[in-house]
Structure 1
């Protein structure tokens, strides 16, 4: 579903620890006075809110199309996040930026100005933004109704940054390409465009299994194919589900790279790999979040 002419895009800011932090808010006219779901989107390294909207062709805006959710794209500090990895040399880490406090302030703003529902806050993160979402899951799990993480995996214990992690379950969905050259699907050393090591991480399947254990799921996972086009990539879905437990889902993009599935290919392809075009990632996220 494409955004309609009724969609409004607003620039907002909040002050956190004396620094002005910015976000772009995509919102629609509210059908009633009832609070609406909130979707927070976190960009990758060297990106901004504007960048991730552009290179995804604004498809994540559509997460609010049917539910009326307010979708907010947050800007990192100097285009990075103080994420879940100890091996993080960006200014967001060296300047001790409190991105968790930024998230809390952003949610308060969205509640106050846009009727956001503080009980239905969902986080979507790509790459470095996905690593930040992993941090949020462990530090403020009670603030999240669900999380979707693209092209990011759980750091190994010796590379995991959060202090005093909380174990409250959170529904988590992952999307990861098997030919991701930056965050290896099979685990190991993550690197920014094949240089600047960013520390060891688990494989994508082991990451999903980690969150299934965290959510106290003991049932075996179920894997099934996802309908896709006739291109060089294909998608497979693995579900960890059990009654009374927060679910975990992994979408494996076979032959896919470090990219968000959608109509627009990530560039340059020789550095990031292939983009899956047929898989409707917005529908998958919306269904997982029950938007």
Structure 2
């Protein structure tokens, strides 16, 4: 059996000056002939944009492969973000890096240079990057069309950094493993395998309810169960909060899953199991109403 070669996608490293500091991002996709959606990818702790790209097996590149979107992998400062948690002690926080301003600048660059559509800007974050996306949801929701948070939960109220969070509704998709060894699915203290505590967070279901209530959706979510591969040690179930005229919220629970991105590339064992039956990229594309090179989960 032969595998198809990875499609060649134009790739450019962009450098931006943000408040006197140099920031970088890798952009996939050429300048679009017609205004194209923009997808921002924010990496996890101890990663860069390129490391996240490799960690996910280049799976998110599919969003740009067919010309459907301009995809940008942003680089944090010293492999971290100044995210939504008060407990954040990374250099990005202690040295005063304004990552919200960086994202603003990145959007301006992608709209101005790549013909990105300013009404279709989407943010996807993993782990520390997920916490950064949570900050974006509360500080610049007017610049985003939707967001996806992977392996991160809403900080507890006493651990929430934004001082004047905005309440503008926004579609939010969440993906979380029940056996995540770093960010507990059931809430509590996030840490690096029990060391370096990173503050209290809500559970994944509480996080979904928080965003549903923020979007003025109450009541019981619709449950969707996905078929698992034979002898699979993981399974997937989704809780969809939907109401006509309101921004939706979906939580994909990976039972038995770890601190991983399902359906992309198997993470190191220390991160927990990677479910390979659920296609996160296709689910993100469907939630954002984007094109992708594979179908979304049924």
TM-score (norm 2): 0.93
Match of 1:9 in 2: 11
Given that 2:31 and 2:113 are in contact with CA atoms closer than 8 Å, whether structure 1 keeps it comes out as no
Q: Which protein is richer in strand relative to its size?
A: 1
Tell me the secondary structure at the aligned position of residue 142 of structure 1.
Answer: helix
Query: Which whole-Å CA distance do the structure 2 matches of 1:2 and 1:140 have between them?
Result: 39
Query: Which whole-Å CA distance do the structure 1 matches of 2:103 and 2:5 have between them?
Result: 25
Given that 1:28 and 1:68 are in contact with CA atoms closer than 8 Å, whether structure 2 keeps it comes out as no
Query: Aligned-pair distance for 1:80?
Result: 0.2
Match of 2:294 in 1: none
Query: Aligned-pair distance for 1:4?
Result: 5.6
Match of 2:94 in 1: 94
Deviations 1:141-166 (A, max 9, x none): 11110000000000010000012100
Match of 2:115 in 1: 115
Give the 3 Å change call, closer, same or farther, for CA 264–5 of structure 1 in structure 2: closer
The 10-residue stretch of structure 1 (174-183 or 256-265) with the greater mean CA deviation from structure 2: 256-265
Query: Which whole-Å CA distance do the structure 2 matches of 1:274 and 1:5 have between them?
Result: 28
Match of 1:234 in 2: 235
Tell me the secondary structure at the aligned position of residue 197 of structure 2.
Answer: strand
Given that 1:193 and 1:272 are in contact with CA atoms closer than 8 Å, whether structure 2 keeps it comes out as no
Match of 2:245 in 1: 244
- Among 6, 17, 20, which residue is 1:18 paired with? 20
- 1:18-57 equivalences under 5 Å are 18-28=20-30, 30=32, 33-57=33-57
Query: Which whole-Å CA distance do the structure 2 matches of 1:67 and 1:50 have between them?
Result: 20
Match of 2:187 in 1: 187
Instruction: Kindly report structure 1 stretches of 4+ aligned residues shifted beyond 6 Å.
Output: none
Structure 2 unaligned runs (5+)?
291-298
Matched, 1:256 2:268: no
Given that 1:190 and 1:198 are in contact with CA atoms closer than 8 Å, whether structure 2 keeps it comes out as yes
Query: Which whole-Å CA distance do the structure 2 matches of 1:282 and 1:263 have between them?
Result: 8
Query: Aligned-pair distance for 1:65?
Result: 3.7
Give the 3 Å change call, closer, same or farther, for CA 107–133 of structure 1 in structure 2: same
- 1:131-210 equivalences under 5 Å are 131-210=131-210
Query: Which whole-Å CA distance do the structure 2 matches of 1:99 and 1:192 have between them?
Result: 23
Tell me the secondary structure at the aligned position of residue 185 of structure 1.
Answer: coil
- How many residues are aligned here? 287
- 1:207-226 equivalences under 5 Å are 207-226=207-226
Match of 1:285 in 2: 284
Given that 1:147 and 1:171 are in contact with CA atoms closer than 8 Å, whether structure 2 keeps it comes out as yes
Deviations 1:145-203 (A, max 9, x none): 00000000000100000121000001000000000010000000000232100010000
| RMSD between aligned residues | 1.5
Query: Which whole-Å CA distance do the structure 2 matches of 1:198 and 1:7 have between them?
Result: 37
Match of 2:271 in 1: 272
Tell me the secondary structure at the aligned position of residue 196 of structure 1.
Answer: coil
Query: Aligned-pair distance for 1:28?
Result: 4.5
Give the 3 Å change call, closer, same or farther, for CA 103–278 of structure 1 in structure 2: same
Tell me the secondary structure at the aligned position of residue 190 of structure 2.
Answer: strand
Structure 1 unaligned runs (5+)?
none
